[in-house]
Amino acid sequence: MPPLRLLLPAIPFAALSIAVPLVNRVEPRILGLPFVLAWISAWVALTPAFLWVLGRLEKRW
């Protein structure tokens, strides 16, 4: 299991790049958004949280 300090940035990065072909569907739609667009938007919104936790872990703030 890689350390959390690697996973925290790697998860959103992978979700927004190599994982996109795996979720490339219109249905089910979420809040009206096609699934793939909802997936991307959700990860964009979550990324600050992942990076903030990483900063806490590294004692940056």
Binding site for another protein (CB under 8 A): 9, 12-13, 16-18, 20-21, 24-26, 29, 31-37, 40-41, 43-45, 47-48, 51-52, 54-55, 60-61
Nearer residue to another protein within complex by CB, 1 or 61:
61
Whole-number Å distance between alpha carbons of 58 and 11: 17
Which segments of 2-60 does DSSP mark as H helices, in order?
4-16, 35-57
Which lies closer to another protein via its Cβ, residue 4 or residue 25? 25
Structure tokens, 57: 């872990």
Minimum CB separation of residue 18 from another protein in Å reads 6
